[in-house]
Amino acid sequence: MTAPVGIREAPGENAPRLLEVEAMTVAFGGVTAVDGLSFGVNEGEVLSVIGPNGAGKTSAFNCITGFYKPSGGHVRLGGVDITGKRPARIAAMGVARTFQNLRLFGELSVLDNVRAGMHVRIKQNAFDAILHTPRYHRSEQEATDEANRWLDFVGSRGNRYNEVRNLPYGEQRRVEIARALAREPRMLLLDEPAAGLNHNEKEQLLDLLRRISDLGTAVVLIEHDMGLVMQVSERIVVLNYGREIADGTPTQIRSNPAVIEAYLGAGDDVEEEAEKIAHQSDDQIFGRTEGEQA
């Protein structure tokens, strides 16, 4: 089967597994946010994780990146068990992320925010830093050059000396992505990167995601904007009440009755409902776009 124009083909079955989430459970008191979730991400793949608000998407990201400890299950990166490891350790192993609610240093410049993302990679020790050795200056300059390259890549170099807090929201989102990319991750996790963006900014984001994918970086995307999800994803995992209810290509997901039911609460007439909406736009089908926050 050939994919429609603009929709990417799923990668070969042989692409090596990068991330393996196995039977992961996250509980907060009485709430089970993630309930025995299993899915994998292949090297270089663009995978979207979708589902209604409260489905457990952000909690799953937080477990993968070490911000939460799962109460059950395992997370493996390149075959290495990273379950319950600290965020800095997991980041150093090649996993970078952005947050649903931006986490930037508002009073620092754009450039310094990106440089801050690189601290794990700067080749200097405490001795160099305290005594400002030649090696310190060299590595600082290298960090600045590289940060500028990433700002070019996301299209934000023109703002590099501005304080982040003075930038429009869409621009701040790009800076956060540049900061994550500056770690040269094997996998980048983005939590609702299109939320709050206007149409043009979403187009730019789509282009940016494709260029990130072209670098060979695996991209895992939590996103409500179905237009974006359908265009950029090779595969989509759908969560509802902390469980995976579907895993497939965009084409498979858009006609999956369980997915449609999760979004529409369609009750008994799911097949009929799916038939009725088959020709509507994605936004109409999923009814959830920007502006919705967990």
Ligand X SMILES: Nc1ncnc2c1ncn2[C@@H]1O[C@H](COP(=O)(O)OP(=O)(O)O)[C@@H](O)[C@H]1O
Cα–Cα distance, 281 to 98 (Å, whole number): 28
The nearest distance, CB 245 to ligand X, in angstroms, is: 13
> Applying CB under 5 A, which of residues 32, 42, 48, 58 lies at the interface with Mg ion?
58
Provide the mask over 265-294, with x wherever binding to Mg ion is found by CB under 5 A and - wherever it is not.
Answer: -----------------------------x
Burial (0-12, 13-18, 19+ Cβ within 10 Å), 212? buried
> Applying CB under 6 A, which of residues 10, 57, 164, 259 lies at the interface with ligand X?
57
Phi-psi region of 71 (alpha: psi -120 to 50; beta: other; left: phi over 0): alpha
Which of 56-64, 72-80, 111-119, 263-271 is the region at the interface with ligand X (rule: CB under 6 A)? 56-64
Cα–Cα distance, 191 to 193 (Å, whole number): 6
Instruction: Assess 240 for contact with Mg ion (CB under 5 A).
Output: no
Instruction: Assess 122 for contact with Mg ion (CB under 5 A).
Output: no
Q: In sequence order, what DSSP letters do the residues of 58-86 get, joined into one string?
A: HHHHHHHTTSS--SEEEEEETTEE-TT--
> Applying CB under 6 A, which of residues 21, 24, 41, 55 lies at the interface with ligand X?
55
Instruction: Assess 294 for contact with ligand X (CB under 6 A).
Output: yes
Which among Mg ion, ligand X, none contacts residue 59 (Cβ within 5 to 8 A by kind)? ligand X
Residue numbers 114-133 binding ligand X by CB under 6 A: none
Handedness of CA 11, 13, 15, 18 (dihedral sign): positive
Provide the mask over 96-115, with x wherever binding to ligand X is found by CB under 6 A and - wherever it is not.
Answer: --------------------
> Applying CB under 6 A, which of residues 18, 21, 51, 156 lies at the interface with ligand X?
51
* Sheet strands side by side (includes 17-28): 31-42, 17-28, 72-77, 80-81
Provide the mask over 22-41, with x wherever binding to ligand X is found by CB under 6 A and - wherever it is not.
Answer: ------x--x-x--------
Which among Mg ion, ligand X, none contacts residue 92 (Cβ within 5 to 8 A by kind)? none
Tell me which amino acid residue 107 is.
Answer: E
Which of 94-102, 140-148, 153-161, 261-269 is the region at the interface with Mg ion (rule: CB under 5 A)? 94-102
Instruction: Assess 249 for contact with Mg ion (CB under 5 A).
Output: no
Give residue for tokens 């700067």. 122
Give residue for tokens 């008994």. 268
By beta-carbon distance, which residue lies closest to Mg ion? 58
Cα–Cα distance, 52 to 264 (Å, whole number): 10
Which among Mg ion, ligand X, none contacts residue 31 (Cβ within 5 to 8 A by kind)? ligand X
Burial (0-12, 13-18, 19+ Cβ within 10 Å), 219? buried
